[in-house]
């Protein structure tokens, strides 16, 4: 069963399932807080501090098309984006006559056409809270924890076993003990490093593919630096933590999957497009990839008729790696502070994709 709520047509009333209002009084300055799937936004931070002449509307469901996005956001002066949950393309932006400012969370937003916004003199600002973990701490960012959860779920097949029990079954496949197995990590940054530490605590051996990792740093961290082919050929499980760019798009394709061990586990909490979708689905069906854990997808929300919906050896979460109650409060606080600054004549976090590498 899908975890994403299905979009419903708004009745336009204050009791709509699609949105909630901070105030029922029509205001001159209207703010759309989009992507509030967890229904945390309106109680996470004091939006009323923006003033009595401000109305804040939180949208709890994904928009399913350009038209529905434009219709929902047409009468707003400000729009906030929770990472890449809503696409503000040129086609959408050109249909938003009142829009004056866009605030998004994160370093970049692939679903936002900031150049189209600039062409209409719409200010784009980013709120990029720091969630760095102190050096030497065993834990990590929330995507690191989700990675470990997906890895354990794949090793012990908790998803398929839950389905088995609910359908009246009991006999099951044996689990896979991770102790002594090799975990290949592609990308050794703020998410990949904690994954390595936590997997090491489980008794796994760690191979790392990273252009920035030195042999000395690898030795100090008790991991082994290796090239991509070596990681692919020798890992029992592989976890992706690379940024998406020209060099990593479809990095894992048919040829790379063929190099992997038969029965490998593949975890992706980074970006879906790092993996070539077609060969990946084929490898799951033929059990070349025994189990996979995904938090990111080539189309989000995932369509009901997508092939992944019928593949049993798969554990999925709806792009929630960054969405813990604690971090979401910090993100909404960042949005609020940016909008407070704007209302006071200050610009916080002005963004242009031309200025970001």
The pTM score is: 0.80
Nearest to 343 by CA among 40, 6, 20, 52: 52
**Please, what is the average pLDDT of the chain?**
88
Backbone angles phi, psi at 29, to 5 degrees: -110, 115
For 353, the token pair is 């994709």
- Rounded CA separation 305/23 (Å): 39
Listing DSSP states for 132-150 in one string gives: PPPTT-S---HHHHHHHHH
pLDDT digits (tens, 9 = 90+) for 281-303: 999 999 999 999 999 999 988 99
CA dihedral 259→260→266→271, nearest 10 degrees, is -20
- Rounded CA separation 75/195 (Å): 44
pLDDT at 172: 74
Which residue is it, tokens 């945390």? Answer: 40
Nearest to 332 by CA among 86, 101, 39, 77: 39
What is the set of active-site residues? 271, 300, 319
Please answer whether residues 209 and 184 qualify as being in contact, where contact means their C-beta atoms are separated by less than 8 angstroms.
Answer: yes
Inter-CA distances, 221 with 86, 205, 304, Å: 38, 12, 43
Nearest to 147 by CA among 173, 121, 184, 103: 184
Listing DSSP states for 180-231 in one string gives: T-EEEEE--STTHHHHHHHHHHTT-EEEEE-SS--HHHHHHTT-EE--HHHH
Please answer whether residues 336 and 49 qualify as being in contact, where contact means their C-beta atoms are separated by less than 8 angstroms.
Answer: yes
pLDDT at 17: 43
- Rounded CA separation 333/320 (Å): 19
Please answer whether residues 190 and 132 qualify as being in contact, where contact means their C-beta atoms are separated by less than 8 angstroms.
Answer: yes
- Rounded CA separation 330/271 (Å): 23
Q: Domains along the chain? A: 19-131+324-355 (3.40.50.720), 142-316 (3.40.50.720)
Q: Is the pLDDT of residue 164 over 50?
A: yes
Q: Is the pLDDT of residue 26 over 70?
A: no
Q: Is the pLDDT of residue 135 over 70?
A: no
Q: How many CA atoms lie within 13 A of 207 on its CB side?
A: 18
Sheet of 123-127: strand order equals 19-21, 54-59, 29-33, 78-81, 101-105, 123-127
- The whole-number average pLDDT for the span 3-10 is 40
Q: Is the pLDDT of residue 2 over 50?
A: no
322 — pLDDT class (breaks 50, 70, 90): confident
Nearest to 52 by CA among 72, 32, 24: 24
Q: Sign of the C-alpha dihedral, residues 243, 244, 247, 251?
A: positive
163 — pLDDT class (breaks 50, 70, 90): confident
28 — pLDDT class (breaks 50, 70, 90): confident
């Amino acid at each position: 069963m899908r975890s994403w709520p299905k979009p419903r047509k708004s009745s336009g009333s204050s009791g709509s399932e699609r949105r909630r209002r901070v105030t029922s009084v029509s205001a001159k300055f209207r703010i759309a807080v989009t992507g509030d799937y967890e229904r945390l936004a309106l109680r996470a931070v004091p939006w009323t501090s923006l003033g009595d002449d401000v109305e804040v509307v939180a949208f709890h469901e994904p928009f399913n098309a350009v038209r529905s996005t434009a219709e929902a956001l047409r009468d707003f002066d400000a729009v906030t984006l929770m990472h890449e949950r809503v696409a503000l393309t040129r086609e959408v932006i050109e249909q938003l006559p009142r829009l004056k400012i866009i605030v998004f969370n994160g370093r970049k937003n692939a679903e936002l056409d900031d150049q189209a916004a600039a062409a209409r003199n719409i200010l784009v600002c980013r709120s990029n809270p720091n969630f760095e973990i102190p050096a030497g701490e065993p834990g990590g960012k929330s995507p690191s924890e989700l990675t470990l959860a997906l890895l354990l779920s794949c090793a012990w097949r908790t998803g398929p076993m839950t389905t088995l029990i609910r359908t009246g079954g009991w006999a099951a496949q044996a689990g896979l003990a991770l102790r002594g197995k090799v975990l290949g990590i592609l990308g050794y940054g703020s998410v990949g490093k904690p994954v390595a530490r936590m997997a090491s605590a489980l008794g796994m051996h760690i191979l790392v593919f990273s252009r920035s990792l030195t042999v000395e740093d690898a030795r100090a961290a008790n991991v082994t630096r290796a090239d991509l082919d070596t990681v692919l050929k020798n890992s029992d499980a592989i976890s992706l933590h690379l940024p998406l760019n020209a060099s990593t798009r479809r990095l894992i394709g048919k040829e790379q999957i063929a190099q992997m061990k038969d029965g490998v586990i593949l975890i992706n909490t980074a970006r879906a497009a790092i993996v070539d979708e077609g060969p990946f689905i084929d490898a799951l069906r033929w059990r070349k990839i025994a189990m996979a854990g995904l938090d990111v997808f080539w189309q989000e929300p995932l369509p009901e008729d997508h092939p992944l919906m019928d593949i049993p050896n798969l554990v999925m979460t709806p792009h929630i790696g960054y969405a813990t109650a604690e971090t979401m409060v910090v993100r909404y606080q960042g949005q609020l502070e940016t909008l407070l600054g704007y209302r006071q004549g200050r610009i916080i976090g002005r963004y242009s994709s031309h200025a970001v590498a």
